[in-house]
Amino acid sequence: MYSRAYKAFVSLPPLLWVGLFLLLPYALMFAHSFWAVREGVVVHDWNLENFKTLYSNPVYFAVLLRTMRIAGSVTLCSLLLGYPLAYYLSFHAGARKELLYQLVIVPLWVSYLVRGYAWKTILGSEGVLNGFLQYLHLTHEPVAFLLYSPFAVVLMLTHIYTPFVFLPIYASLEHIPRPLVEASQDLGAGSAQTFFRVILPLSIPGLLAGATFAFVLSLGDFLAPLLVGGASGTMIANVVQSLFGAAFDWPLGAAIAVCILIITISLLFLSERVEKRWSFK
Amino acid sequence: MVLQVSTRSSTRRAPLLTIYAALVFAFVYLPIVVLILYSFNREGVGGFPPRYFTLEWYRQLFADGPIWDSVLNSVIVAAGSVALALTLGLLAALALDRASFPGKALFRRLVLLPLILPGIITGLSLLMLAVFAGAQLSLLTVFLGHGTALISVATTELFAGLQKMDRAQEEASLDLGATPWQTFWRITLPNLKLSLIAAGLLIFTLSMDEIAVTFFLIGRDNTLPLEIWGRLRRGITPEINAISTLIFVFSVALIVIWYRVRTRGLGADARELLERP
């Protein structure tokens, strides 16, 4: 029912825009990863040196490993907080369900930076938590190890991604037909059995979506380490950022960014595959 | 939806789970409460308990020129991003809904990519484009970055709106002699009103808060998050608590508006966007 002119009119502008402002930049990122720097200038000299450097220098691998560990911890902690919360809301909250749902959403809208800053004021050696501990006479010296550590990064990112993880899990729990749960109970399964054999398997797609999201976004985060991580909390994206800044080696930075991109896209692809297998409909 | 045969499962008590859920809520809200509380503390940020109430930090904040300059910059960038992302997002949603062209599947994925990729990747890619094109970094590059990245949000939202729309109205309009242009303005657009408002609010907030992409595209003039970021490097001041509290209140006000729009409306399914990251 729509004419060719109509279709062309709606398709062409976004196609051109996306080609120019998304596809071209991502392509430039790939191109840079095969270029080199000579005497402070990026030269278009195609080679694999950057990837060889990444492969042979153990420092990059160590940082990547630490980043994975941090992202893994964030994902696990967000699941441990988000899943029970979603389960509670979906199965036990009764009339308060809608209100509690809104309460989980609100922090999602609070700026990332503001929340990071809040943790900084809480964890610092002259921060709120140390003040609290000294007020209770639990300690007389400020506890210094809280801020500027991988722990602080995990804490801050868990705080940010718990609501994100909660949402898809809650959605998949809400989609479970209640008669299935009741049938399981009527046929003599206990609460634990019902949970592990009916509810948990049916919520796998939501769980996976949330976990992938938390992992992927933590993996590429560079602000949390700058804000609360200190030197011991440096992550792979910080390396990229410093290569693009002070160290001025854009090609090497681009090579690492390409690696992050590839890891991210493979994880998304994988999780989409597994999700499809586990969804029922 | 699903027939509730008995209410047994929803009323069964689980005291441990309830306590756990309360603790998770406490964890999620603790930093926000601390932030707001200490914005009124005369002795500044830190120490416990906060003893003396003051509005001094808010007074300082309102007298702080650079902060309000950056707020203005952020509002300009956000408003521009809303216009850009909504226009292109609407066209993209119409194209995905109605046209078929080679590379459509790739196009769909590409548009959504900035939503799922870490900000540093999108930010750096756009920085390389700016350098490649010989463009000076400024609020203009920030606006182009935000607008482009947020087309993803507009497309998702408006595509959902289009899918729920009654196609027969458009057919009737065209059959009765209206031009495609008239049909677009009189039928399509009014039907998408709620999706457009919801997407607009979401894009505005996201742009106001954006920092990862902005970080690489900023020139001399700061947006609000980057102004705060710059000050954080110099140390913590309660003024940041005060501006953060105001941002929080502003965000909550926007959420309330958003839910008003949503609950009044039919489509506007932005929740779906959040549920399926």
Query: pLDDT tens-digit profile of A155-212?
Result: 999 999 999 999 999 999 999 999 988 898 889 888 888 999 889 999 999 999 999 9
What confidence score (pLDDT) does residue B271 get? 47
For B101, phi then psi, to 5°, come to -150, 160
- The segments of chain B whose pLDDT lies below 70 read 1-12, 262-277
What confidence score (pLDDT) does residue B69 get? 95
Return d(Cα A184, Cα A213) in angstroms, integer.
Answer: 31
- For residue A15, give the 3-state DSSP assignment: helix
pLDDT tens, B136-194?
999 999 999 999 999 999 999 999 999 988 888 888 998 898 888 888 899 999 989 88
Helix locations, A203-235, DSSP H: 204-219, 223-224
**Closest partner residue to B94 among A10, A120, A164, by Cβ?**
A10
What confidence score (pLDDT) does residue B12 get? 60
- Closest by alpha carbon to A21, among B81, B198, B18, B253? B81
Percent of chain A with pLDDT over 90: 53
In chain B, which residues have their Cβ closer than 8 Å to the Cβ of A15? 95, 101, 107
Interface contact A178, partner B, CB < 8 A: yes
Which comes out higher in pLDDT, residue B262 or A93? A93
What confidence score (pLDDT) does residue B11 get? 47
Which comes out higher in pLDDT, residue A110 or A265? A265
Mean pLDDT (chain A) is 89
Return d(Cα A199, Cα B155) in angstroms, integer.
Answer: 33
- Residue B34 buriedness (CB in 10 A; 0-12 / 13-18 / 19+): buried
**Closest partner residue to B236 among A1, A18, A120, by Cβ?**
A120
For A41, phi then psi, to 5°, come to -125, 140
Return d(Cα A272, Cα A208) in angstroms, integer.
Answer: 9
Q: Do the beta carbons of residue A101 and residue B22 sit within 8 Å? A: no
What confidence score (pLDDT) does residue B3 get? 47
For A249, phi then psi, to 5°, come to -135, 75
Return d(Cα A101, Cα A85) in angstroms, integer.
Answer: 10
Contact partners, residue A208, CB within 8 Å, separation at least 6: A271, A274, A275, A278
- Closest by alpha carbon to A244, among B165, B23, B125? B125
Domain B65-275 classification at class level: mainly alpha
What confidence score (pLDDT) does residue B265 get? 52
- Interfacial A residues in 227-256 facing B (CB < 8 Å): 227, 237, 240-241, 244, 250, 253-254
Q: And the tokens for A39?
A: 């005497």
- Residue A204 buriedness (CB in 10 A; 0-12 / 13-18 / 19+): middle
Asked if the Cβ–Cβ distance from A254 to B128 is below 8 Å, we say yes
pLDDT tens, B233-254?
777 788 988 998 998 888 888 8
For B64, phi then psi, to 5°, come to -90, 100
Tokens 């914005």, residue located? B39
What confidence score (pLDDT) does residue B4 get? 46
Report residue B103 CA to chain centroid gap. 28
**Closest partner residue to B6 among A109, A119, A182, by Cβ?**
A182
Tokens 């502003």, residue located? B250
Architecture of the domain defined by A58-278: Orthogonal Bundle (1.10)
What confidence score (pLDDT) does residue A170 get? 95
Rounded to two decimals, the ipTM of the complex is: 0.88
Return d(Cα B146, Cα B144) in angstroms, integer.
Answer: 6
Return d(Cα B50, Cα B38) in angstroms, integer.
Answer: 7
Question: Residues B100, B103, B106, B110: is their CA dihedral positive or negative?
Answer: negative
Q: What is the mean pLDDT of residues A88-112?
A: 86
Tokens 């309360």, residue located? B22
What confidence score (pLDDT) does residue B264 get? 63
Asked if the Cβ–Cβ distance from A111 to B21 is below 8 Å, we say no
In chain B, which residues have their Cβ closer than 8 Å to the Cβ of A170? 275
Interface contact A205, partner B, CB < 8 A: no
Under the banding of pLDDT at 50, 70 and 90, the label for residue A281 is: low
- Closest by alpha carbon to B87, among A7, A2, A23, A14? A14
**Closest partner residue to B229 among A24, A113, A159, by Cβ?**
A113
Give DSSP secondary structure letters for B217-231: H--SSPPHHHHHHHH
Range with the lowest mean pLDDT among A218-222, A276-280, B250-254?
A276-280
Return d(Cα B60, Cα B31) in angstroms, integer.
Answer: 23
Under the banding of pLDDT at 50, 70 and 90, the label for residue A99 is: confident
Asked if the Cβ–Cβ distance from B128 to A15 is below 8 Å, we say no
What confidence score (pLDDT) does residue A27 get? 94
Asked if the Cβ–Cβ distance from B118 to A254 is below 8 Å, we say no
Asked if the Cβ–Cβ distance from A7 to B13 is below 8 Å, we say no
Interface contact A266, partner B, CB < 8 A: no
**Closest partner residue to B276 among A181, A209, A240, by Cβ?**
A209
